[in-house]
Structure 1
Amino acid sequence: MLDVLVIGGGNAALCAAIAARRDGATVKVLEAAPKFYRGGNTRHTRNMRCAHDHATATLTGPYTEDEFFDDLLRVTQGQTDEALARHMIAESKAMLDWIAEQGVRFQPSLGGTLSLGRTNSFFLGGGRAMLNALYRTAESLGVEVEYDAEVTGLDIQDGMFLAARLKDGREIRASTLIAASGGFEANIEWLKESWGPAADNFLIRGSPHNRGTVLKLLLDNGVEPIGDAMQCHAVAIDARAPKFDGGIITRLDCVVFGIVVNKHCQRFYDEGEDVWPKRYAIWGRLVAAQPDQIAYIIFDARSLELFMPSLYPPIQAPTIAELATRLELDPAALTQTLETFNASVQPGTFDHTILDDCRTEGLTPPKTHWARKIETAPFYAYPVRPGITFTYLGTRVDADARMRMADGKPSANMFAAGEIMAGNILGRGYAAGIGMTIGSVFGRIAGQKAARHARN
C-alpha cells in the first residue's frame, strides 16, 4: 500500500512530498488543477521570510528569531499560537539551504519601499520557477504526480485516514495523509456565509481551484478547526483585474505615496501607518468595508516612479476635477478632500525607505508618514478592490504538523501543511513572505513525520 498520499500541488505539498520521499516513503501527489496551472497560489509568489543569523549572498543582514516573532506579533496583533509560531520560526532557519538543495535558486532581494532586503529571499524566476524546480526534484526522486485529480471524498474513521475518493470514481488508500490543498478563497458561496453579498465584489488573486473541498471534508470528519472564517490574506488590487488568478502583477504598492478614498471621496485609514510589507495585507479588508467594496488610490507625478506598477496603467488627468470625472466620482468632493489633505501636511524630509517625519496634523484619519502634498500634475489614480489571497480558517495542528481532532486527541495518521493550516500561525494580518514560510516549514515536517509513521 502507498505510504504517503499528498493532496495539493503547491509549495507545501511539494516540500512534504520531497521530504517524505527522501525519508524512504512511497509518495503520490494529487493536484486538482491541470498541469499548466499546477501549484495553487505558489505560482504567484516571489519570496519567503526566514530567520537567519548572518548576511548571505542574497540577504543584506541578520534577521533573528526574536525579530521575526516580534514582526509576527505586530501583524497578527497577538492572534497566533505562540509555541507553534516560535517552532516554525526556529525551523525556518534551515529552510533556505534545504529549499536550495531541492533545486530552487534565489536572487538578490529587492530594496526600496519593500524594505525586504534583509528579511526575505526572492526566488530567481519567481514562484513558477520555484515550483518547477520542486516538481523536477520530486519526480526525479520517484514521487508520482497526478493532475486533474480532484478529491471529492475522504474515508476517515475515528481520526484515521483510510482512503481518498476522486472525482473520476477511483479510490486511493494510503498509510498516511498530508493535506496541503489550500484554503477556500475561490469558493465565493463559502465566503458569502461570513461576508454576505460583499463577497460578490471580491477578486481572487490565486487559483480558482482553491475551493476548500478537502478542508470541508476534514472538518466534517471531526478535525478540529482553527481560525476565523472572515480572516484572510487580503490586499488591495487593481479593480480591473480578472475574477481569478490575477496574481502578483495586479497588486498595487502605491498606497503610501498618496491617499485612498472611497466612492464618496472620503479617506478612511492612515495610508502611512507602517512600512509597506507589514501593512499591505490590511488594505483588502479595509476596502471590503467600504461602499460597494471599491476605493481609489490618488497620487501625483512626483510619486509615479517610486513603486512597481500594476499590470494596468494608472488613470491620468491634468486636474483633480478631471481625474474625478474619469473615475466617475464627484469632482467637488474629491477636490475638497485633496485640499483638506494638502492643508494638513507638515514640513518634513521625505524618505520612502524609512518611517520618515512627513506627516499630517489635525486630519482624521491622519497620515503618519510619507505625507506630501498632492499638487504636481498630472494626477493619477488606481481603482482597487479586495484581492483575496488565502483564507485562515483551517485545521488545527501540533508541532509535528499532525492534525488534531475535535475531541482534542491527535489524528492517527493525518498531517497538514500550508494554507490549509495557516490559521494556527496567522490569526489575522500578514507579513510579506510568511505564507511560503508556513508552507515550506510545515510541509517538510509533515513529510518527515508522515514517512516515519508509515514506516513504523
Structure 2
Amino acid sequence: MIDVLVIGGGNAALCAALMAREAGASVLLLEAAPREWRGGNSQHTRNLRCMHDAPQDVLVDAYPEEEFWQDLLKVTKGVTDEKLARLVIRESSTCRGWMRKHGVNFQPSLSGTLHLSRTNAFFMGGGKALVNAYYRSAEELGVQIRYEAPVDRLELEGGRFVAAHCKGERIAAKACVLAAGGFESNREWLREAWGRNELGEWPADNFLIRGTRFNQGVLIKYMMEAGADIIGDPSQSHCVAIDARAPLYDGGICTRVDCVSLGVMLNQAGLRFYDEGEDFWPKRYAIWGRLVAQQAGQIGYCIIDSKAIGRFMPPVFPGEKADTLPELAAKLGLPVATFMQTVSDFNAACRVGDFDHTVLDDCHTEGLAPPKTHWARPIDTAPFYGYALRPGITFTYLGLKTNDQAAVHFGGEPSGNLFVAGEMMAGNVLGQGYTAGVGMSIGTAFGRIAGTQAAAAALKQEERIHAAA
C-alpha cells in the first residue's frame, strides 16, 4: 500500500508530494491532465507574493507581515481566516530556499511589472518552468506519477481516507492530500452559482476560463455530498477582465489587458460603471472580471489614448485603433453619442496634478459618479485605443474548510489522514477579492504543510500496524 496519495498535479499537489517524499513516505501523484497539459493553473502563473523584512535577492526593500496582511484584508474586505492567512504570509518568507533546492529559479521584475518588485518574486521562465522543475525533482526523488488519471470518488470511513477510485481502479493509501483544483471549467456549476441576472441572462455562459480545462470540481462535489465542512461562496473566484478574443480555456497571463487604470471602462451602453483608479493594478485587477460579469452582455470596453502607451505590459492581442473617438466608438460597436458624452464628461471632470502611475497620485476627478480616484487624465491625444473585455475565471473559491494542519474537517472535527491544499481550500483565506501572487503563496504554504502532515499520518498508521502485529 502506498503511504501518501496526492490527487492533483499543480503547484500545491507537487509541493505536497515533494514534502511527503522528503519525509520518507512513498508517494503516488495522480494528475487528471495528459502530460503536455500537466500543472493545472500553476502553469499559467508567474510569481509568488512574499513577506520579507529586508531586501532579498530579487526582492527590493521590505514587505513585512503586517503590510501583507493589510493588503489581503483590504481585497477580501475581511472575508478571511486571519490565523490561516497569517500562516500563509509567514510561510511565504521561508519557502524560496526550498523551492530553489527543487530547481525553481527567480528573476527580477521586468518592465511593466516593476510595481511588484517589492512584494512578488517572479519565476524564471514563469509557471511552466516551475511546474517542470517540480516534476523533475519529484521523479528524481522517486515519486510515482500517473497522467490522465482523474479520480471520480473516494472511499471514506468515519472521516478517514481509505481509497480513491480512478478509471475503475481502487487505489488505497495510508494518507491522502486533495489538491485537485476548483470547479471553474464546469459550466453547469458556474451557471448554478451565478444564476440568471435581472435581464434574464445566464452570465456564466459568457465567461472565458483563463485557467485549465481540467478543473471540473468533481472532488469538491464529492466531498460536499460526503459531509465534509465547506467554506466559501460558489460565485466568488479569481475573475479577471480579459481580452474578449481569448481562447475558451488556458488563456493564462497573456490574455490580460493591464491598461484599465490608465483610461476608462465602459459597458455596452457606453457608460462608466466603477472607479478605474481605486488602487494599484495588482490589488485591483482581479475585481474587474466580476464587475464586467455584472454588466449587460458580460462585456466591457477599456478606452485609452496614446499617453498611456508604454506604461503597461503590452497585451498579446492589439486593440482597436482610431484617430478620432467617434471612429473608435463605431469600431467597438458602441453608441457613439453616449460614448462621446461619457468621455467628454470624464475629461471635463479630470483634475490633473502630478501624474505618476507608480504611486497613488493626485490626478483625480471631481463631481463625477463613479469617480476616478487616481491617474485621471483626459482622453484627448490621438491615436485612441479600445479593448473589448470579458470575465476570465482563473479559479473558484468554494472549497473545503481546513485548519493550520491542512486537515479536512467533518462536522468540525479534523480528519486524521485526509488533507487539502491549493484551490480546494483557498476560500479559507480568500473569501473574495485577490491580490497578485497570493494564490501561489496559499498553494505553496498549504501544499508543504499537507505533505508533511500526510507523511506523519502515514507513519503513525504504519506504527499502529506493527504494534498490532
TM-score, normalised with respect to structure 1: 0.98
Instruction: Look up the match of 1:394.
Output: 399
What's the offset of the Cα at 1:347? 2.6
Instruction: Look up the match of 2:52.
Output: 52
Distance (whole Å) between structure 2 residues aligned to residue 163 and residue 14 of structure 1 = 20
What's the offset of the Cα at 1:253? 0.7
Structure 1 runs of 4+ aligned residues shifted over 4 Å read: 111-114
Partner SS state of residue 182, structure 2: coil
Partner SS state of residue 447, structure 2: helix
Instruction: Look up the match of 1:99.
Output: 99
Distance (whole Å) between structure 1 residues aligned to residue 412 and residue 74 of structure 2 = 29
Partner SS state of residue 353, structure 1: coil
Q: What amino acid is the match of 2:415?
A: S
Distance (whole Å) between structure 1 residues aligned to residue 114 and residue 188 of structure 2 = 34
What's the offset of the Cα at 1:306? 1.2
- Which segments of 5 or more consecutive residues in structure 1 lack a partner in the other structure? none
Instruction: Look up the match of 1:308.
Output: 313
Contact persistence 1:112–1:353 (CA under 8 A): no
Q: What amino acid is the match of 1:55?
A: P
Q: Which has the higher mean CA deviation after the structures are superposed, 193-202 or 267-276?
A: 193-202
Partner SS state of residue 135, structure 1: helix
Matched, 1:245 2:250: yes
Partner SS state of residue 364, structure 2: coil
Matched, 1:192 2:191: yes
Partner SS state of residue 172, structure 2: strand
Matched, 1:142 2:146: no
Instruction: Look up the match of 1:438.
Output: 442
Instruction: Look up the match of 1:236.
Output: 241
Instruction: Look up the match of 1:9.
Output: 9
Distance (whole Å) between structure 2 residues aligned to residue 23 and residue 201 of structure 1 = 45
Over aligned residues, Cα RMSD in angstroms?
A: 0.9
Cα 1:401–1:50 change in 2 (3 A) is same
Matched, 1:151 2:156: no
Instruction: Look up the match of 2:466.
Output: none
What's the offset of the Cα at 1:110? 3.8
Question: 1:278-289 alignment to 2 at 5 Å?
Answer: 278-289=283-294
What's the offset of the Cα at 1:111? 5.9
Matched, 1:447 2:455: no
Q: What amino acid is the match of 1:21?
A: R
Distance (whole Å) between structure 1 residues aligned to residue 273 and residue 401 of structure 2 = 35
| Number of positions where the alignment pairs a residue of Structure 1 with one of Structure 2 | 454
Q: Which has the higher mean CA deviation after the structures are superposed, 110-119 or 434-443?
A: 110-119
Partner SS state of residue 326, structure 1: helix
Contact persistence 1:9–1:40 (CA under 8 A): yes
Q: What amino acid is the match of 2:247?
A: P
Instruction: Look up the match of 2:173.
Output: 174
Contact persistence 1:338–1:374 (CA under 8 A): yes
Instruction: Look up the match of 1:378.
Output: 383
- Alignment match of 1:424 (pick from 419, 424, 428): 428
What's the offset of the Cα at 1:114? 5.4
Partner SS state of residue 100, structure 2: helix
Instruction: Look up the match of 2:264.
Output: 259
Question: 1:297-376 alignment to 2 at 5 Å?
Answer: 297-376=302-381
Alignment deviations for residues 359-396 of structure 1 (CA, whole Å, 9 cap, x no partner): 01110000010000101111100000001110000000
What's the offset of the Cα at 1:113? 6.1
Contact persistence 2:300–2:390 (CA under 8 A): yes
What's the offset of the Cα at 1:309? 2.0
Q: What amino acid is the match of 1:93?
A: S
What's the offset of the Cα at 1:112? 5.2
What's the offset of the Cα at 1:64? 0.8
What's the offset of the Cα at 1:52? 1.3
Partner SS state of residue 117, structure 2: coil
Instruction: Look up the match of 2:465.
Output: none
Contact persistence 2:302–2:387 (CA under 8 A): yes
Contact persistence 2:80–2:430 (CA under 8 A): yes
What's the offset of the Cα at 1:55? 0.4
Contact persistence 2:113–2:313 (CA under 8 A): no
Q: What amino acid is the match of 2:455?
A: A
Distance (whole Å) between structure 2 residues aligned to residue 48 and residue 368 of structure 1 = 28
Instruction: Look up the match of 1:85.
Output: 85
Partner SS state of residue 127, structure 2: helix
Contact persistence 1:184–1:190 (CA under 8 A): yes
Q: What amino acid is the match of 2:170?
A: E
